[in-house]
Structures are given as C-alpha cells and as structure tokens.
Structure 1
Amino acid sequence: MTDIKVEEKWQKKWQEANLFESDPNDKEKIFITVAFPYPSGAMHVGHGRTYTVPDVYARFKRMQGYNVLFPMAWHVTGAPVLGIAKRIKRQDPWTLDIYKNVHKVPEDELQKFVEPEYIVKYFSEEYHDVMTRMGYSIDWRREFNTIDPHYQKFVEWQFRKLKDKGLVRIGEHPVKYCPECGNPVGDHDLLEGEGVGINELTLVKFEMDGDYLVAATFRPETLFGATNLWLNPESEYIKIKVDDENWIISRNAYDNILNQKKDTSIVSDVDAPAMIGKYVKNPLTGDEHIILPASFVDPEYATGVVYSVPGHAPADYIALMDLKKDAETLKKYGITDEVKSIRPVGMINLKGFGEIPAEEMIQKFDVENQNHPNLKEATNEIYKLEHAKGIMSQKTGEYEGLSVSDARDKIIDLLRTEKKGDVMHEFSERPVICRCGTKCVVKILDDQWFLKYSDEDWTEKTYKCLEGMNIVPEEVRANFQYYIDWLQDWACSRRIGLGTDLPWNKKWIIEPLSDSTIYMAYYTIAKYMKDIDPEALNDQFFDEVFLGKSGSFDGIDAELFKDIKDEFNYWYPLNWRLSAKDLVGNHLSFHMFHHAAIFPEDKWPRGIVVFGMGLLEGNKMSSSKGNIVMLEDAIETYGSDVVRLFLMSSAEPWQDFDWREKEVRGISKRLNWFMEFADRVEEICGSKIELDGHESAPEVKKSINAWILSQLNMRIRDATTALEGFQTRKALQESLFLLKKDMDHYFHRIEHELDDEESRREIGEVLVHLLGIWIRLMAPFVPHAAEELWKTHGGKGFASEASWPQYNPDLINDKVQKAEEIVQGLASDINEIKNIIDVKPNKVHIYVAPDWKWRVFDIAKEVGKPDIGRIMGQAVKQNVYDNKKEIAGFAKKIAREMTRINYVGQIDEYSIIKDSLDYLSAEVDAEVIVYDEPTYDPEGKSGNASPYKPAIYIE
C-alpha cells in the first residue's frame, strides 16, 4: 500500500499546482455533484463510498480531456444540530459517549458543542480535511455552507420565483413533528424512523353510556363484519373532550390527538379492566359489540382501541380463537359464554374464497397463534386481494355489489358527514425519534407553507425533465416516475433551526430539503462571492445570471458580472447528480421539480446516479448506534488508496456495499502487488524505466507477447465502457484484478524465455508499455500510488493529468487469444494423459491439423449450422481433399463440435507451438516436439489432429 507520508506529499503537490481548480475554457465540460453532507458527526466509510464514486469518475473524465468541475459544500440547515447542542448542554450520557468514543471529539472541543453553529463548523472542517486525505479532486474555491449570507440570498430568490409561479401555498397538512423542538422534522432530523410515512386512518365512534370508545381503522367498510372491540387492559386509558364530545382512548395516544384536534383536553382516567365485558354500539349497523381484552393492542398506535372483524382480518380471527381457549381470562372477566357465542361474519365476496376468508388465510399460512411470524403475511395478502377484487355482499345493504374501494370511500364520507367518525394521521411505523431524543408525533399544521408538488402542470414539466435524463441504474427510472406522480404538497418551512428565513414571512425558516434542490447552480458562481456584498445579490442579479433575463444590473463591477454569467452558462446544465437511493422520493425528485419550474429547458439536469446503502460486517451502518468505522481511522490503518480500492471493488455504486476488515486487508495485498510490479519490470529490463515515449505498443514476434497486448487492450476497452456507465466495480475488475490475472499467466509463460537476450528485450518493451498504461488505468482509483509510480518511472507531469489510455482494436485479436488457448490446452491434455498412463514420458510428439481440415472448418462456418450433407457437398465440390471417406468422418465430427468451438479462422498452429516449446517442456517435464508434417508417427496419431486441437503422442 502507499505510505501515508507519500499520500500527503501528493496531496500537497496537487494543491500547490491548483490541479483541480476548474475554470471555463475551450474544452468540453463535465459538471458532477454529489449530495453535500450534513456535518453533524465525523465521516465514516459509508460517506467514503459516497464521495469516492464521483471522484473516480471526475478523475477519469479529466484524463479523457474533459474540463471537469467537482465541487463541495456543507448542508448545515435544519434542527438536528440544535438537538445535539441541547443534549450536550444537559450532559446527556448517550450523546456524550457517541461524540467522545465514536466521533472522537476531544473533551475541550465537545464542551463547545453547546453552540449548534460550532458543531457544524467543527465537523465541516473535519470533512474537508478527511476528503483531502482521501485524495478527492475537489475545487475547494467553491466551498460554502447553507447559512452563508450569499447562499441565503440565492435561496430567497428561488422561493420568490416559486411563489410568483403559484407553486407555494399556505394551508393545513399532517407533518412529522418534534414536541421538544417545536418543529416539523424530516428524515435527516431523525435518530430513528427514516423513511417512515404518514398514513390517514378513519376514526370510528362506538357509543357507550353517552361517551364514545374511538377505534382507528384503514378499512371502515368492514364495520359490517365487526363482532367485538379490543382493549389492552394492562394499558392506561383516558377520557378526553374533543369539541363537545367525550372520547375514550389510550393515554399514549393523547399526544397524537392533541396535535391533530383543536379544543382537546383530558377529562379523567378510565378503568380499562372495568370496560371489559361492556357493550358499545356500532355507528353504521346499530349492532351491540362486546369489549374484549387483547394484549396485542398497541396503546401507542392510533387510539389504542381496535374493532374486531374476524371474518376478514386474520389477526382478529386468531386472537378470537386464542381467547376462546383461554379459560382463565374468560373466567377473570366473566365473559365465557359471550365469547364462545361469537362467530366470524363474512361480508365481502372474494372469488376463490368461502364465507370466512380470514380462516382460510390462517390455514394457508399455517398460523398457529397470535405470535406466529406468518400472521403479518397472511394479513397483507387478504387485504390486498380484497382491496383489488373484493365485492361487498348482500349483508352490507345499500353497498351490495360495490367494490371494496368504492364502498370504503362512501362509508368514510358517511361517517364524517354524520359525525359518526373522524380522521387522524399516524406513522406507518414506530418509533420515530428526533435527534434531540424526543418521540415524534403527527401534527396538523394549519398555517404551514407548502410546495405544491401536487400541481398537475408542475408534475407534467417534471416528467419531461425526467424523460431527458440519464438514470443510473436505468431501472430506478420507474421509481422516479412513481414518486413524481405520488408526491403531495410538501411542508417547506419550520419554526426553529438553522437556515434561511422564508422571504415573505420571517417567522418561518425554509426546511433543509427545500433549500437544497438547485444549489448545483450556485456552485458555478460560488468562487466569486467572497468579493461581493451579499446585499447586492437581489432578484435581478440572479434572474440575469441564471435565467438570462436582459437588464442592466449595476450592483457589481460590469466585467465581474459578465464573468459570473459566462461561468454559469459554461458549466450548466449539470451533467451528473449523485445521491442515495433513499432520497429518490424526496431530494432527487425535488431536484427535478425545482429545475423544471425555475430554469429554461436547456438548463435542466442531464443525469442522476443512485447509491446503495452501506453495511458494516453485514449490518446496517448507523452513527447513532456506533456501528461504523470512521473514515479517518480507516485511512490511518490502511492508507487512503486501499480504502478507495476496497470501496470501489466491493459493489457497484447502486448496490449495497459491506465493509469487511478481512477483505480490506486482502485488497491491501493487491495494491502492494501492483506497487511491486514496476520493480519487477525494471528488473527484467535491467535498467531504470522511462515511461515517456512508450505510448505506442511495440512490434512483437512472440505469440505470448501478442496475447498480453491483446488482453491489455481488451481490459482498456472494457474498463472505459464500465466507467462511462459508473460501473466502478466492473471497471476496477478489468483494470486491476483481471489484468493482474493476465499478468500472472504472462509471467508464468515467459519464465523460460528470459535467458534469451532477444526475447528478453521484446518482453521488456511490452512490459514498459503495459506499465505506463496500467498506472493510468489505476490513477482514478488509487491516485497517490499512481502518482508515485508515474514519477518514479519517468512519467511526465502528473499521472492525474496524463491521457486516459486508448484501446487499439487492431491489437484485440481473436486469433491471438485462440493461440494461447491452444498452448494451454496442450499443456493440460499432456499432463492429463501422463496421469492416466502413470509413466514419465521421454518425449511428447505434437501433430497439427493438415490444411484440408481447416478448409472443411471454413466451409462449416459458411454453412452456419451443423449440416453434414452440405458440408460434405461443398468440400467435395471445392476438392479440399482426395479421400472422401476421411472428409465424411471429419464432417460428422465438425457437426458435433461446431457449437462448442469458437472458430475464428485458420491460425499457424505450428509456429505458435514451436514458439512455446520451452514453456510446454517445462510444464509437462519432458521434451516436446511439434511437427508441421508427421515425419515421425509410429501409432498414426497425427490423423486425430483437428483445428485448435493438435494430436498428441507420448513415448
């Protein structure tokens, strides 16, 4: 591996040479960005993969001659650091432990973390340092953070443009909300619950003694099949006042209700066990239903009250069956007769099922009790089937014949209109925990600002934007299509946190995902901002720079303003945006929405690459759980080139990768081999290598040298194609692992030719040419090692600026490949025969196929299928050989073998084998003799020789 001191040396040299500072010129440009990090903790190896992929691509394209811009900034908007600062201030033990022992923050620095601004300053500097140590080819002149005043002016302009277009509204909406922070929260604000959605449930009011026991459901149409209600008697329940009604719900559910209903207050506690055995009234049917005990009812979910439909809900069916068998519980509550008399009610007709579908599903999935792992799958399947194909039965009265979904909508309307029901929102999964450590709730905000992603015209424009983009991998395009169509209005403002004030209402702050949708445009001008007063950056400035609107902006120097505009127009549109797959449904889709709304079509983004997730020894990485390897630690242990090499070799970017220490150590050995390869080449050449002047492949006489040049050019071709498609793993397989395998074979083959001066000279020329190419192939992956090898062995300038190798299609030769296959096949066949006869041979005689057999092969190739008659007919017609019987026998053999043999045409087998006699003799431990004509053939073996399969006689 490369020494850390060597890596630091090259990092300094790149910096001194301003190597990665990219300005407009006459070259074709590539503008690539990756999601900027939220610096609330130290970089781990998962981050390393995220930022190494674009760096490899950026370095590759630079070497191809493109002018490449790869910038970086810091996303410090939002509330997470506020939560961290609060926990540090109150000396929360868990938080202190994480930051001391996982993020390695010194004690004196940690005490400064009571200021959220200091947290982002500390970690953005840490990110910058580690990214530099990783060798990232970033243009650091464009660095900024999202609370820089210049950037805030840019965000204000963006939101005024959206509002002017009618794409921002104020209204009511359910949001994830942290009661402690007093703020809506997004996925990046959470310790747990990333990706959790918000579901809408129907509340059903079951009357009981003038009050209402309120149950929540996704399927109010099943009220016709209700038989009982479930309560958890071990949980606390309360009576609350909602408007002028008394509702009974679990105490745990109150926070959600409180944040979704106005005029709500607690009236009293309720004795839950005392309610068991009482009856409530079904608001839809008027039937009386008994309240039964159920430990499976989660008091934190929805209202903590569930109504039971055992005919159609497998969970209710098995719970009822279990309760019927539980004599002790039945006796405890005095409900034995009542429970035993309950029968499931079927009220949805489903083709292929009987009266009680839940019972059939329980049997199909072998569900034995309420805790059986198959219960969830059984429930999901019956719900999906009934939703898609279910028809309401005659038991549902006026709803008979309706589809389940149509009946559901009508019943929801009825319940709400007649105040027999209501609505509430709940998380699709729990827990959802803010970074401050508080459990989140669903809150209805009625004066919240929203981005109108539901707007049909905006959606249509965004679809058009997507159509013009390259998506890697392509199958993710369907995900984007789904989310663009599915996205609803997005709460884009917060009460507290770091960020930019909403321009027209300063009591709100623009939330993190909303202020980071088009910042790629800001990168293009960021390097100029230090010379400009942020107050000069008004809407006219941004309109003229980004939208090309004519005007006479005079807030800054005219020449400087022209440079800014020209810079933007040179770099935009963005070529590639890289981000994680969990951001497809928000950030990456928002990225398209906002570009489509604000920019002209010729400035819309051109491509997106989606990343997989990171694992550590098979488990999901998590900073909050300490299940991570810090990137700086990995660099200290292995060096950055080894880290880069492993991160690029373990998986393609869109696949999940798994950091495994044992495999990282293995990669380190591969890099050591590569570093030592140059010394081996120098040893063979017998003098110091000068790579300059060896760009063109040397003329070669030996077949094995032609073979390695063919392999090399094939690897160049395939690695280049892979990198163009961001297949970094495949590119590295070609550039290192497979080429190393080729070289291992090559060194083995030439071992016995190095004593011959002429052969050694030709081999040396081949190896020097190959080394110069190999260093450049590896430069995007291991830039420090490549620079060191390049400089040590006479390369001119930086390897990072050297030209990317161009493959020569003329050197990729099928016949050369086949020639080496023949040699290897002979060695293998001879050794196999030796094992069978169990005698050490004195000599091995090899006979190549006569010319007429090659001509018959050519005829078979032209015929194109194993047609013995046509092959025979053409062979006789062309008079390839005067023995028709032999031709017929050979034609039959060809018919059997043509599909197996990759026939590439006639090759000079005699010369190929003669060139390889030293190698073959060493491989089989016997003298090998090859015949062009069978002058010695005591057993007539030469007649067995076939193209690509010489005959063998051992004596």
Structure 2
Amino acid sequence: MAEKSERYGHKEIEARWQAEWERNKAFSAGETSSPKYYVLEMFPYPSGKIHMGHVRNYSIGDVLARFLMMRGKNVLHPMGWDSFGLPAENAAIQHGIHPAKWTYENIDNMRVQLKRMGLSYDWGREVATCSPEYYKWNQWIFLKLLEKGIAYKKRSSVNWCPECATVLANEQVEDGSCWRCSSPVEMKELEQWFFKITAYAEELLEHTYKLQGWPERVLVMQRNWIGKSTGAEVVFPVDGSKESIRVFTTRPDTLFGVTFMSLAPGHPAIERITTGERKADVERFVARARAEARDLRMNPEEVVKDGAFTGAFCVNPLTGEKVPVYVANFVLMEYGTGAVMAVPAHDQRDFEFAKKYGLPIKVVINPPGAALDPSTMDAAYVEPGIMVNSGPVDGTVSTGAMDAIIDLVEEKKAGKRTTTYRLRDWGISRQRYWGCPIPVIYCDKCGTVPVPFESLPVILPEDVMLTGKGLSPLASSESFVKTECPSCKGSARRETDTMDTFVDSSWYFLRYSSPQEKGLPFKKDEAGYWMPVDQYIGGIEHAVLHLLYARFFTKALRDLGLHEADEPFKNLLTQGMVCKEITRCPEHGYLYPEEVVEGKCKLCSKPVVIGAVEKMSKSKKNVIDPDRIISQYGADTTRLFSLFAAPPEKDLDWSEEGVEGSYRFLNRVWRLVVENSDLLTSALSWKPGEGLEGKAKELHATTHRTIRKVTQDIEERFHFNTAISSIMELVNALYQFQSTLDGKGHGTAEARVFKEAIEAVVLLLAPFAPHISEELWSRLGVTKPVYRTGWPAWSEEAVREDEIEIPVQVNGKVRSRLKVPAGAAEAEVKRIVMNDEKIKEIITGKDIRKFVYVQDKIVNMVVA
C-alpha cells in the first residue's frame, strides 16, 4: 500500500502528462477509414490571454472529444487563430509594434495557456488566418466567386463607424452602433466589394428546417434576419416624368387605399424628382434624417414620424389617382425597395404621418359588420375584414382579395407577384490594414483586372502608416499600390481595401481537414470524410454573423465543386456566459477580485459594495485570471468546476468556494486510489456471472448505474454537471464500502467489486479531469493510456432494479406510490395495490370498473 501521506501534486502530474501527450502526438486524427467525429469550438481571436469563457467553451468540446475517442471514434479536434482584426492594428498605433509581431506573440502565449489546460487538440492542424499560407486561399476563393458573379463591386450607401474608420456589414450594426466599439454608426457613400449572399437566401432559409441539432432560438434569429416576404412589386409612375417608383408590399389588398408615397432618406430618386422650390427643404431634412438614423434603428417605435414633401406626385396604377411623394424618416433603404406605398387607414405609422401632415385617409377594409369613418378613426385598422372602395373586389374578404388585386396589377403590367428578403448582400470592403488584401488591380486602360491565380498571395506590405483615421492604410504604401496590369503590362494600382475578417472565419473549418494542402484551399476527399462538423460550440452572439456567413460560404464553395456538404455544422451548442458579481469602491470604482480584502478596498480600506452578477468583463473588472486558478488548483480542477457548476447552455456563476470543492473532490479520488494501491493492483477483476450479495451486490449495481447515467448524460443530453454529480455519488459509495474490505483477501468478491468501481471512476472522470485520470490509471498498473482505453460498458443485468416505485392512479388522479418487484405480473401488483391503506380507503364500497397495469410504469384504476 502507498504511504497515506502521498499528496495530490497537480502541478507535477499535469506537466508530466501534457509532455507525454505532446511527445506521442496523442490526439492526431487517424486515417479516414474508421467512423469519424468532428468536434470544433469557435476559434479565438489572439488577444494575448485566455479568459474563463475560453476555459468553459474549450472544456465542453474537450469532454466530447475525449469521450468519443474512448468510444472508438476517429476524432478531429483542431485549434487555430482568427488572427486578423482591428485590435492588432490599434495596438500597433498605440504601442508602435507591428500587428504581425503583436499577433504572433499573443498566439504563442495563448497556445501555452491552452496546452496547460490539457486540451486534446490536434496541434498539427493549427491555422492562423493572418498567415499568407491561409489568406492566399481567401484570395483564391474571392477570385473564383468573382468569376461566378458572386463577388462584385458597386457604389453603395454603407454603414460607417467613425471610431474604427471602416465600413460595417448590416449584421455588424447592433442597435445603430458598431458591434466592436459601440460608437454610433453613420451612413456613407462608397465603392465597395460585395458577396451576393442573397443568391442563397432561399436555400439558407429552407435549410434551417433541416438543422435538427441547432437551438431553435438561433434558427429563428436566422430566419428573421433572412426575412422572407411574399407579396407584390408595384410600379408607381412619377407624374410628368419618365421616373417611376418601385415598391414591394405584403399588403396588396390595401393598394386602392394609397394616399401618399414615402421614400427613405437615401432613396436615389429623391434628387431626380424633387422640384426646385422644395429642393432646399428636402436636402435639409435628408441630412437631419441620416444623422438621426441611429435613433430610428435603436427605437423605431419611439421616433417621431417626420417627413418632407418633394413637390412630386406619383400615380396609383390601379386608380389613376395622383398621390404626393414624401421623404420620411421611418423608411429605411435596407428594407424592401426603400419606398413605401402609404395606406394610413390600415398602417399605424402611415396613420400617424397622415394625421401630422393633414394627408387623406381612405378606408378600403371594414371590420365585419361595421363601417369605418376616417374622420373619427383614432388608429389604423390593421385586421382582416371586408373590402370597400376597391373596385372589382368590393364585398370580398380582404385575405382572399390579395391574389385578385395582384392579378389586376399584372394585367395592367404595373407589377408582379414576387418574393423579397430582408437579407442584403454582404459588403466585405474594409478600410483597414490588418486584413486580407483584396486581389484586384485597377488599370486605366483595362478597368478592373483580377490578380492572376499564379500571383497569389497578394502580401500585405510592411511600409504602411497606421493612423486609424482616413483612407485605407494600404493606400499609404506606394510600393504596394503601384503595380503592373496583368493584361496590358501598363501602369496600374492595387485595391487598397482589405476583406472583412468574417471572411477568414467563414471556411476555416474546411481548411482543418487538410491544412497542409498547397494546390487548393483543402482536399475534396478529406473534406468529404470530415464534413460536416458533427458538433460546433460557440456563443449565441454569432447567430447572424459568423454562423450565417459560414453557411453561405459552405454552399458557395460546394457550388464551386470543392466539396459536397450543404451545411457546415450538424449540431450546434451555444454555451452560456461565465458571470461574477461586480465589486465597487465608493472612491476607486470597479475593483478586481484581488483588490478586495475582507470586504474592503485594498487601496483605501473602505467597505466595498457588492453589485449584480454579470458576464465577466474587463471594463467592470469582475474577471478571474485562469492562469492563477490553474496554478493554484490545477487544470483538472478548473475544468471540473466549469463543467459542474451549470449545464453548458446556461450561464455559470463563478464561485471560488465551488473551485475549492472541486479540488477537494479530486483529492478524495486521489486518496481512494493511492491508499488502496496494493489491493487494487493485486485484486482479480470482477467477472460477469459471479455471484454477489449484500453490500458488494449493491456497489456493483451502483457502479453500473453510474456508468449508464454518465454515458447518457454526455452522449444524449450534454448534462455534464449531472454526469459529474453521479461520479461524486459513486465515490461517496466507495468510501462507505471501504470498511467492508477490512480483513478480506484480495481475491474476494468485495475486493473485485471495489476494484471494478475504482476503475470505473477513473475512466468516467477522464473526459472531465484527464491528467489525474491518466496518473491514477497508470498507478492501477495499466500501460495503455486512458484516452485509448475503451469507455466502460454497463451490464443490463446489474442495473436492473429489484424493486421499483410506481404511481397508482384512481379516476385519473395519483392517489399512492407503491414499491413492487421489478417485472412483476399484474396479479401480484394488483394484490399489493388492493392492500394499500390509501387505496382501500378510496375504493371501499365502490365498483372497480377497470384495472390497467403498464409493467414497471403505472397502475390506472377506474372506480364508480
């Protein structure tokens, strides 16, 4: 027996096994001949240090990877770096360090941190999106999409962040603010490169219904963002002009009730149709409306409806009536066509606007059995009803009149049935340095010329002035900008914008399948084997950014013939946040946890105020340094707590006491093995069919029920917290059983069952706490590493209950719960039920009309 004083030395144990795994390349994915499982966590931006959110996210993925390795799967579990982006550029400006140097130093530091966590990554597949070996293929894909017409350039009104000095995609504007820095977003006219994601709108929408392994919340967010609407496109000619205004409406039943037209402040027709006397007023209004666009996006219902008359009129193609054209602040260019046919009687926004400007209100739908009077209406009527003032469809139900009115529009060649989407094409041009150069050359003679494939990659230059303001930084590099036209060999200039960094992360999961491939972005056969990703793990905040773009890229690359998968991720888990209470000092504001001693500020000794529990953030200083926790308690403890404290999809409240509890538990497991090492290494293994009784039989059953519970919790439910709880219960049972071993020989049934249970604890714990599991497994005398040892199986015979509790219902209500022998026949169960005092009290003197027993489940009685 080992000395009882031998301690659990987590630092030495973890360092030893990490070195062993690295030396043996333990987690390299195998050949493509066996069943695969691809588990992937969203790769991080290399900010320099991992945080507790990383610890939780990556621990979740690692449990799955290790569990499935032990289940015999060929597991791909890679890691890389989403390493282009603005923070590196800002660091260069602030500290005078090149973005590449800052980024690669951060990668080196974070790689060390991730390895200290004992994560089972295949480091041989590591990628960094800022490396020319990677972004060469961004450029190659761009050129292929350009050939297909999926990449194109146009002048567009774009979202501009003045703080970041760059364009933002619609998906990167959150409540009118920049997703990165929260600055108010402005509108700006620029020449921009786009990806035609709208070409895939219908497939992106339809395939959400096939993603059975995704959270419904994410799917709903994507469906809403794609925003499919069916209705009619109607053309309103501008009176006295060759101009016309095209609108899309989902309410063609209200077409006879149009009394004015509303244009978005950015609508291109405004300049052409505004009359001379109205020009100055309209220009002032447009400037003001664009400045206030952020408020409209943030609180559309609260913005006061405002507008300006253009002086122009357009003609309703069905009635021939002339209606005034206004510019309105509540109409947005990114929705529909940027023009709205206004029907104030049946749209609340139009109603408010009409009341404000004294515009006509024409009722075309009455409530059933009633008639509306525009002069007495205090709100728009928006429900279905009976058509009036609508020519040939008068008297019909409004919902049924829609098709008839569209037929009229098409007969008059004034429009057509159509489907539209809220989704807009993805603007990828960014006025930044630290991103992938767009591989395009501009020649005065030849126009826009793609960089030849053989000239890729277009490398970022070194001689760039980084100021964070103004034009694209690449424009400051003469050596980069000036080049030769590939077509005519004359003087030419390069594109100086770089790609949105979301391009980098839209296909990295495909590159992992063959990261050393030099002839293509990835090998088709390798992608065919590994794709789709079986389990993807990341935050809900990526629902309509990264996740939508990744789905689009997967489909676009499929159509280029590069692979055959329709979707990138079969299953998606959106993990919860890691949270901690906020601590404030009346004098020093927010405090880090280490700045608080016995409830007082370390800086001034004043009592601190404990605030709400919120997501950990540097700005509020409620953060915990993973390095400190790992150093003090070990990676296994840190992992175990992050997995035990809450289900993966829920928020986790940080607790130092909880970490200490996890550490104590691992010490208990350690002592259980090392203090019984002589017995465990010499005892014979338990064999199926061996007779057991008493406490030995009970421990044997508990062991197998634990194996079943942990297996199902990991495999079917991702309930890692309850899986760990079950292991803890088995450890408690083992401590209670130890006294049974006193004086018993190594060959006894008790010793064998004890050894079986200990081995089960070590194996079941391995995905959660791999270092201590490897160490204890080796101390049990097993030479094969845990991660290559098969996952334990449970015996159905062992888990079968001798007795089970079943509910007894009388006339539909549960009246008692009784213990009955498992598998008992109906006659025996009926005897037990009839002798139960509660049941006898209810049924005495009554007629039993029906007695139904569902074996081992329930008894249902009907009495009268």
Q: Where on the TM-score scale, by shorter chain, does this alignment land: which range?
A: 0.5 to 0.7
SS at structure 2 position matched to 1:512: coil
**CA 1:666 to 1:154, structure 2 compared with 1: closer, same or farther past 3 Å?**
same
> Which residues in structure 2 correspond to 1:506-905 (within 5 Å)?
507=495, 509-526=498-515, 528=516, 537=518, 541-542=519-520, 546-547=523-524, 575-581=534-540, 582=543, 583-595=546-558, 597-601=560-564, 607-614=570-577, 616-617=579-580, 619=614, 629=624, 631-632=626-627, 634-636=629-631, 639-650=634-645, 652-653=647-648, 655=649, 657-662=650-655, 665-666=657-658, 668-680=660-672, 687=678, 689-690=680-681, 694=685, 699=690, 701-725=692-716, 727-729=717-719, 731-734=720-723, 736-744=724-732, 750=737, 753=740, 757=744, 762-815=749-802, 858=825, 860=827
**Counterparts of 2:90 and 2:831 in 1: how far apart (Å)?**
72
Q: Which structure has the bigger radius of gyration?
A: 1
**Equivalence for 1:433:** none
Deviates more, 1:11-20 or 1:136-145: 11-20
The alpha-carbon distance between structure 1 residues 173 and 686, as it changes in their structure 2 partners (threshold 3 A), is closer
8 Å contact kept, 1:228–1:289: yes
Q: Relative to 1, partners in 2 of residues 1:785 and 1:588: Cα closer, same or farther, differing over 3 Å?
A: farther
Cα deviation for residue 713 of structure 1 reads 1.6
Residue equivalent to 1:116: 99
Counterpart residue number, 2:271? 242
Q: Offset of 1:257 from its aligned partner?
A: 9.8
Cα 1:720–1:754 change in 2 (3 A) is closer
Asked if the contact 1:250–1:300 (Cα under 8 Å) also holds between the matched residues in 2, the reply is: no
**1:394 paired to 2:399:** no
How far off is 1:770 after superposition? 0.9
| 1:133 partnered with 2:105 | no
SS of alignment partner, residue 607 of structure 1: coil
Work out whether residues 167 and 429 of structure 2, in 8 Å CA contact, stay in contact via their aligned partners in 1. Answer: no
**Whole-Å separation in 2 of the counterparts to 1:62 and 1:625:** 40
CA 356–778 in structure 1, closer or farther in 2 if over 3 Å, else same: farther
Q: Distance in 1 between matches of 2:20 and 2:570?
A: 32
Within 5 Å, which residues of 2 pair with 1:203-218?
none
Give the counterpart letter for 1:860 in structure 2: A
Instruction: Give per-residue Cα distances to partners, 1:321-350, cap 9 Å, x unaligned.
Output: 9x9xxxxxxxxxxxxxx99xx997644445
Give distance in 1, aligned partners of 2:553 and 2:375.
42
Code of the residue aligned with 2:695 in structure 1: it is I
CA distance in 2, matches of 1:894, 1:413: 68
Alignment of 1:471-482 (within 5 A): none
Structure 1: distance between partners of 2:375 and 2:852:
59
Aligned counterpart, 2:487: none
Q: Contact 1:694 / 1:768 at 8 angstroms: preserved in 2?
A: yes
Assess, with a 3 A threshold, how the Cα gap between structure 1 residues 241 and 798 changes in structure 2: closer, same or farther.
same
Aligned-partner SS, 1:21: coil
Distance 2:131 2:308 in 1: 64
- What SS does the corresponding residue of 1:796 show, helix, strand or coil? coil
1:84-131 alpha-carbon deviations (Å, 9 max, x no partner) = 34xx73x6xxxxxxxxxxxxxxxxxxx245x43344324323331221
Q: Give the superposition deviation at 1:2.
A: 7.3
AA aligned opposite 2:87? V
CA shift, 1:175, in A, is 5.1
Q: Distance in 2 between matches of 1:411 and 1:690?
A: 88
Listed one character per residue, the Cα deviations across residues 714-754 of structure 1 (whole Å, up to 9, x for unaligned) are: 322343344334x332x5523x2124335546755x58856
The residue type equivalent to 1:814 in the other structure is E
Q: How far apart in 2 are the matches of 1:397 and 1:155?
A: 57
State whether residues 866 and 895 of structure 1, in contact with CA within 8 Å, keep that contact through their aligned partners in structure 2.
no
Q: In the TM superposition, what is the alpha-carbon distance from 1:781 to its structure 2 partner?
A: 0.9
> Is the Cα contact below 8 Å between 1:857 and 1:894 reproduced in 2?
no
Partner secondary structure for residue 72 of structure 1: coil
Deviation string for 1:898-926 (max 9, x for gaps)?
6697699xxxxxxxxxxxxxxxxxxxxxx
Greater helix fraction, Structure 1 or Structure 2: 1
Paired residues of 1:345 and 1:356 also in contact (CA < 8 A): no
For 1:722 and 1:595, how far apart are their aligned partners in 2?
A: 35
User: Among the aligned pairs, what percent are the same residue?
Assistant: 21
Instruction: Describe the shift of the 1:705–1:501 C-alpha distance in structure 2 as closer, same or farther (beyond 3 A).
Output: same
Question: 1:154 aligned to 120, 129, 137, which one?
Answer: 137
Pick aligned residue for 2:54 from 24, 47, 51: 47
Say if 1:613 and 1:643 are closer, same or farther in 2 by CA, change over 3 A: same
Residue of structure 1 in register with 2:44 after alignment: 37
**Inter-partner Cα distance in structure 1 for 2:374 and 2:777:** 72
C-alpha separation in 2, matches of 1:277 and 1:611: 46
User: Shift of residue 676 of structure 1?
Assistant: 0.8
For this pair of structures, how many residues does the alignment match? 661
Separation in structure 1 between the aligned mates of residue 822 and residue 73 of structure 2, nearest angstrom: 49
SS of structure 1 residue aligned to 2:53? helix
Provide the alpha-carbon RMSD of the alignment.
6.3
Partner of 2:455: none
Relative to structure 1, is the Cα distance of residues 759 and 347 closer, same or farther in structure 2, using a 3 angstrom cutoff?
farther
Of residues 427, 436, 445, the one that matches 1:499 is 436
Q: Taking structure 1 as reference, are residues 584 and 119 closer, same or farther at Cα in structure 2, changes over 3 Å only?
A: same
Alpha-carbon distance between aligned partners in 2 of 1:646 and 1:130, rounded to the nearest angstrom: 18
Q: Which amino acid aligns with 1:713?
A: H
- CA deviations over 1:136-185 (Å, ceiling 9, x no partner): 11122222212322223333443444455565455566654446634344
Q: Which amino acid aligns with 2:793?
A: Q
1:779 Cα offset (Å): 0.8
Task: Tell me if structure 2 keeps the 8 A contact 1:502–1:509.
Answer: no
Q: Does the C-alpha gap of structure 1 residues 398 and 691 become closer, same or farther in structure 2, counting only changes over 3 Å? A: farther
| Structure 1 unaligned residues grouped into runs of 5+ | 92-110, 208-213, 231-235, 259-272, 324-337, 363-378, 419-453, 457-482, 530-536, 549-566, 823-848, 869-887, 905-955
Structural mapping, 1:254-265, within 5 Å: 254=290
Change (3 A) 1:615 1:706: same
SS at match of 2:767: coil
Q: Which amino acid aligns with 1:355?
A: L
Whole-angstrom CA distance in 2 between matches of 1:141 and 1:187: 34
